[in-house]
Amino acid sequence: MGKITGFMEYERVDAEYRPVSERIGDYADLTVPPDGETILRQSARCMDCGVAFCHAGIVVEGASIGCPLGSLIPEINDLAYRGDVEGAWERMIMRHPFPEFTSRVCPALCEGSCTLGEHEPAVTIRNIERYVVDAMLESGKIRPRPPRGRTGRRVAVVGSGPSGLACADTLNRLGNQVTVFERSDRPGGLLTWGIPNMKLEKTLVDNRVRIMTEENVTFVLNAEVGLDVPVIRLMNEFDAIVLCCGATNERRLDVPGSDLKGVHTALEYLSASTRRLLDPGARNESSLDARGKKVVIVGGGDTGTDCVGTAIRQGAGSVVQLEILPPPPESRAEGNPWPLWPRVLRTDYAHHEARELFGEDPRRFSTTLQEIHGARNNGEKVSSVTAVEVEWVASGRGMTPRPLPGTEFEMEADLVLSAMGFVGPERTLIDQLQLEVDGRGNVLAKYDDYKSSLLTVFVAGDMRRGPSLVVQALMEGRNVAIACDRYLKERKAG
The mean pLDDT of 416-441, rounded to a whole number, is: 95
CATH 1.10.1060.10 occupies which residues in the chain? 6-138
pLDDT at 97 > cutoff 70: yes
Dist. CA 49–CA 223, nearest whole Å: 49
Of 151-165, 217-231, 327-341, 351-365, minimum mean pLDDT range: 327-341
The Cα-based distances of 165 to 182, 213, 250, 263, 376 in angstroms read 11, 11, 22, 32, 46
pLDDT band, residue 64 (cuts 50/70/90): confident
What is 154-249+423-493's CATH topology? FAD/NAD(P)-binding domain (3.50.50)
For position 286, what pLDDT does the model report?
Answer: 77
Stretch 305-325: mean pLDDT, rounded?
A: 98
pLDDT(379) > 80: no
Identify the pLDDT of residue 228: 94
- Mean pLDDT within 383-412: 94
Q: How far is CA 12 from the centre of its chain?
A: 25
What is the per-residue pLDDT across 187-211, written as a single tens digit (0 to 9) for each?
999 999 999 999 999 999 999 999 9
Pairing of strands 415-418, 422-424: unpaired
Mean pLDDT across the stretch 220-229? 97
Q: Is pTM beyond 0.75 here? A: yes
- Check residue 375 and give its pLDDT: 77
Sequence ranges of the chain with CATH classification 3.50.50.60: 154-249+423-493, 252-420
Res. 376 pLDDT band, cuts 50 70 90: low
pLDDT in tens, 250-298: 999 999 999 999 999 999 999 999 999 999 877 777 789 999 999 999 9
Lowest mean pLDDT of 2-6, 114-118, 223-227, 303-307, name the range: 2-6
Q: At the fourth CATH level, which superfamily is domain 252-420?
A: FAD/NAD(P)-binding domain (3.50.50.60)
Of 369, 446, 375, 442, nearest in space to 410 by CA = 369
Listed range (204-213, 375-384, 433-442) with the worst mean pLDDT: 375-384
Average of per-residue pLDDT values in the chain? 95
Lowest mean pLDDT among 276-285, 429-438, 473-482: 276-285
Alpha helices (runs of H) in 36-186, residue ranges in sequence order? 36-44, 73-81, 85-95, 99-105, 109-112, 125-138, 162-173
Q: What is the dihedral of CA 347, 353, 357, 360, to 10 degrees?
A: -10
399-403: long-range pairs with CB below 8 Å, 24+: 401/324, 401/368, 403/368, 403/370
Q: How many CB atoms lie within 10 A of CB 242?
A: 30
Q: Tell me which of 394-403, 458-467, 470-479 is least confident.
A: 394-403
**Mean pLDDT, to the nearest integer, of 19-26?**
97
Q: What band does 104 get if pLDDT is binned at 50, 70 and 90?
A: very high
pLDDT of residue 72: 95
CATH of 6-138, picked from 3.30.930.10, 2.60.120.200, 1.10.1060.10, 1.20.1110.10, is 1.10.1060.10
Q: What's the pLDDT at 283?
A: 73
Per-residue model confidence (pLDDT) at position 348: 96
Average pLDDT over residues 19-27: 97
Phi first, then psi, for residue 451 (nearest 5°) are -80, 135
Is the pLDDT at 47 greater than 70? The verdict is yes
Q: Summarize the confidence of residues 123-147 as an average pLDDT.
A: 96
Question: Stretch 175-180: mean pLDDT, rounded?
Answer: 98
